[in-house]
Structure 1
């Protein structure tokens, strides 16, 4: 057993020289992702930031619980899709469209008009798919 103790520094040096992940040579970064399957709460809205950058905001509703006591969560999502067919497609989706949305999640702290500190969950769309349009069941 004493022989293994002398080899320990060798194994430690070998392990530290290996890449962080087998499939990549880059270091892993912290991330927060969210996947949502729900119904579009209304038509998406095109807006501009104070710097003039255009974005699309929309809400998706998800429901859970027994049929006689359903609970609904509303998710506000922001898309920075550039002008083009993908953004036009998103802007023309009708209320009630069943969507699958992949997004990056982040927390934002802010102070309201009463001086109270609050937090909000920001979801930035990475990808979306239309699963079903209203009336196409």
Structure 2
């Protein structure tokens, strides 16, 4: 076995500022408005069927950050052949808007996906 002794590490002083790291995420059950797991998220607000705001604990420098999302919808028989999609986009420097909707036979409607995930990348203020 070898021992590694380090006296000085050159590099980024603030590891939290490293490029490419998620600054916040939220995994929630939208049908019950319950946050399952999160990091750097202060709250989630239900704004109606399939519409939510996820507030991050630390604001971003501007609204040019990136928000990504995914969702999992109900798999019961009445959801066969439906396409469910979700989108997340910056709303303010500390709030992400998330929406999910469903299309079936050319009809479009907002839907509460069973579970939803929002991940946010960007520079913190």
TM-score (norm 1): 0.24
Identify, as 1 or 2, the structure richer in helix: 1
RCO higher in 1 or 2 (8 Å CA, sep ≥ 6)? 2
Identify, as 1 or 2, the structure richer in strand: 2
* Rg larger for: 1
TM-score (norm 2): 0.25
